[in-house]
A and B are shown apart, each in its own frame.
Chain A
Amino acid sequence: MHIPDGFIAPQMYLPAYGVAAGLWAYGARRLRAALREETIPRLAVLTAFSFVVMMVMVPLPGGTSAHASGIALLAIVFGVWTAFVSVSLVLLLQALLFGAGGVTALALNALAMGLVGSVAARYAYLLLRRIHQGFGLVAAGWLSINASALLLALALGVQPAIAHGEDGQPLFFPFGLSVTLPAVMIPHALVGIGEGALTLLMFRLLSQRGWVAAR
């Protein structure tokens, strides 16, 4: 789901860094206040958890699969700020140590996946679990993927409008919203169902082990 390097104009990625920096500082302060001396080890290990969950497969019909994100589970169990900071650290690790994902798009990816995905998942779950917990978990998983994908599709889709040459040719990503929205959202609508099912199954296993309350 990440946006790679080179497709986002500085008019967008620089302000995104400004917004993300403030939110990272706030998130880190919140975590430090809540966890105290356990902040570093817990955050490090949850970053590793987030890293590895992003490598776990979401099975799709027909024998294919996609990568899970695990963001909904992190946000539901640990809260939005833990999920946001952990996912941001994973993106930083991937960009700096593996050269994957890209440094210019890091802040935007972190805001979309870590923040918007987490907020959508957590609040959808809190709202819908009153009706049915299982439905709330599946919806949270679906929304975590699709809310992030929507933001990334919007970010990509406005590139031709905000960065183009004098002849009207795009300078970064070439397609407008009429292409990015269906191209990004339709596959993610399907992957989101898988992510939702996986969120439900993992949550149930964690409830059986006593890590989370089954309600």
Chain B
Amino acid sequence: MWIQLLLIAAIIALGIFFVRRPGSDSHLAMRRIVFGFFVVVAILAVLFPHAITWLAQLIGVGRGTDLLLYIVSMMFLVFVYTQFHRNAQMQQKITGLARTIALLEAERSAAAAPGDEAEKPVSPSDEG
């Protein structure tokens, strides 16, 4: 059946996309192309409901709604990946911020209490 070939191909393509290094510009462009395609198909499906059924039967899917479900599933995978990637980028930024705060704070307290480290007892008495 055509639909099985198409779905497997789409899943493999997405899998490769997942693992590939994000050269962010081309990645973004690809995602936009995929979403643009999705929007066009959605509008066409609304305008010509029978066209979807015709297309579905052409590639071996019973009903147009089934084909839509498959497409939506693929889009969901794209969405999951996009969010994953975006979260990772956000995390990098937060890490950078938090690191800067930690380093600045250490600098500040060192400047506020010079020689404090030397005064610290090496073997403090047992804490309560």
Partners in one complex: no
